[in-house]
Amino acid sequence: MRAFGWNMLLALLWVILSGNYSISNLVAGMLLSYLVLAYVARDKPMFANYFGKLPQIIRFILFFIWDLIKANARVAHDVLTPTHLMRPGVIAIPLDLKDDAGISLFANLITVTPGSLALDVSSDRKVLYVHMMYLDSEARQLAELKALEARVLDLLR
């Protein structure tokens, strides 16, 4: 994480020198310092993994926003129509994630998605229990959640 530290240090230096102490200026400083570091330290092995993460993070954010849009549309449709299409249920997801931060991130991503709620993690941290508002096909839901878990796992490597 030394590359992130350099990026943050340069961004804070940017904020101090510009005299504009706002979040938008800090974000601009982070992007500007990222570009400077990408150019200056492009041959340093310490920075190689760091520079590959930004496109990966952007792809993950776009993927998750699309998931949120689909989930919101499905819940809104069910609320606005006179018949309810809900088929609630609880499924158990075997976890490939091993660390607490990854499991917490995965569980929180599930919880902020409308129609799903992470309930509990087993005591051995191998299974996550999730309540689904629409459990049409357990195999399909499990596949979708495992795909999200794989993206989180890839993002945290």
Q: Between these two residues, 75 and 38, which has the higher pLDDT value? A: 75
Q: Is the pLDDT of residue 136 over 60?
A: yes
Mean pLDDT of all residues belonging to the chain: 89
Find tokens 């006179």 and name the residue. 82
Cβ contact 10:29 at 8 Å: yes
Q: Which residue has the higher pLDDT, 109 or 45?
A: 109
Above 90 in pLDDT, residue 146? yes
| Structure-block tokens of residue 116 | 């799903």
Predicted pLDDT of residue 57? 83
d(C-alpha 145, C-alpha 31), whole Å? 31
d(CA 21, CA 3): 23
Q: Output the pLDDT for position 1.
A: 53
Q: Name the helix (H) or strand (E) containing 121.
A: strand 116-121
